[in-house]
């Protein structure tokens, strides 16, 4: 299979497929989160302005952490490419490190009736679904998007890389969609879960996935930041697992505390039982 074209021209304008994929991913995340807010009974009109800042913060953080992790091995000798995001090079952890705090702070200001922990529970499945879409429409379509060389039948050709490569973006997309499916199962079947449980489960599952992606699957990401990703993934897994245990135990000992009400029977649209004018418990 030949490499997917990574750029095309509209007149004199060069359009990068990678950028189009990221734009579609952000649009999908915005629409999905808006729908979950609406069906959970919370205001959603505030999201548009806040989401734009989240996008900017996520891209800046993702690029910054990637450059820092690979500065001595690549960008010190190629400083002119530090801003070339159309060639890829966006750290997942950097995007979260900048995007989530910005989103929490702005959401708290624009929608004070939505508790921050509840907002993070609502957005957790959105993050995993968007991550899966983003892997398919981002790194899969960029220059040098593959992992280590391979002779396996499932190897793929990527622009800018010789020979077949481990299809890292496809592996990461599969992991993200699998986590997304598990989160939907938790929402549907664990109705009396404590607030914050979805966030903790997402951190644990995604951290474990990132650790195994970097460490077990032949260390397919051939870059200097791999040990950093492995360590961060392991920390996320442990922190998420501990938080899940603590939250669950606390609810068992304090059953009068308000559980997470869940998102209804349809995992993609949320709770249909709440009318738009229903009072919201905060």
Q: What is the 3-state secondary structure (H, E, C) of 204-244?
A: HHHHHHHHHHHHCCCCCCCCCCHHHHHHHHHHHHHHHHHHH
How far is the C-alpha of 155 from the C-alpha of 247, rounded, in Å?
42
Q: Is residue 280 part of a domain?
A: no
Per-residue confidence band for 216, with pLDDT thresholds at 50, 70 and 90: low
- Does residue 268 belong to any structural domain of this protein? no
Q: Number of structural domains, the chain?
A: 1
Of the pLDDT bands very low, low, confident and very high (cuts 50, 70, 90), residue 282 is very low
Q: Is residue 102 assigned to a domain? A: yes
Does a structural domain hold residue 103?
yes
Is residue 57 situated within a structural domain?
Answer: yes
279 in a structural domain: no
Q: Is pLDDT above 70 for 277?
A: no
Does pTM top 0.85 for this prediction?
no
The tens digit of pLDDT for each residue in 60-115 reads: 888 888 888 777 777 878 788 777 766 667 777 788 889 999 999 999 999 999 99
The domain containing residue 193 runs over which residues? 7-253
The closest of 249, 226, 220, 264 to 41, measured between CA atoms, is: 264
Whether residue 259 is contained in a domain is answered as no
In a domain, 263, yes or no: no
Q: What is the DSSP letter of 140?
A: G
Q: What is the 3-state secondary structure (H, E, C) of 164-177?
A: CECCHHHHHHHHHH
- The Cα 202–Cα 236 span in angstroms is 9
Mean pLDDT, range 232-255, rounded to an integer: 90
């Amino acid at each position: 299979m030949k490499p997917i074209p990574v750029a095309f021209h509209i007149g004199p304008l060069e359009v990068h497929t990678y950028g189009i994929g990221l734009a579609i991913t952000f649009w999908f995340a915005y629409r999905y989160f808006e729908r979950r807010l609406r069906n959970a009974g919370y205001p959603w009109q505030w999201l548009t302005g806040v989401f734009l800042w989240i996008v900017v913060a996520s891209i800046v953080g993702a690029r910054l952490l990637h450059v820092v992790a690979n500065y001595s091995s690549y960008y010190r000798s190629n400083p002119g490419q530090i801003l070339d995001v159309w060639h890829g090079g966006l750290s997942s952890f950097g995007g979260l490190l900048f995007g989530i705090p910005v989103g929490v702070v702005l959401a708290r200001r624009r929608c004070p009736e939505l508790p921050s922990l509840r907002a993070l529970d609502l957005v957790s499945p959105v993050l995993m679904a968007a991550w899966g879409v983003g892997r398919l429409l981002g790194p899969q379509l960029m220059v040098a998007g593959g992992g280590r060389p391979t002779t396996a039948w499932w190897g793929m050709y990527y622009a800018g890389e010789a020979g077949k490569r481990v299809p890292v973006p496809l592996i990461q997309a599969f992991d993200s969609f699998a986590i997304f499916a598990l989160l939907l199962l938790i929402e549907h079947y664990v109705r009396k879960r404590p607030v914050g449980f979805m966030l903790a489960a997402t951190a644990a599952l995604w951290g474990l996935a990132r650790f195994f992606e970097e460490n077990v699957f032949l260390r397919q990401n051939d870059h200097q930041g791999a040990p950093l990703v492995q360590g961060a993934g392991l920390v996320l897994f442990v922190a998420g697992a501990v938080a899940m245990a603590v939250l669950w135990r606390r609810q068992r000992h304090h059953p009068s505390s308000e559980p997470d009400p869940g998102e209804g029977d349809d995992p993609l649209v949320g709770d249909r039982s709440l009318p738009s004018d229903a009072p919201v418990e905060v």
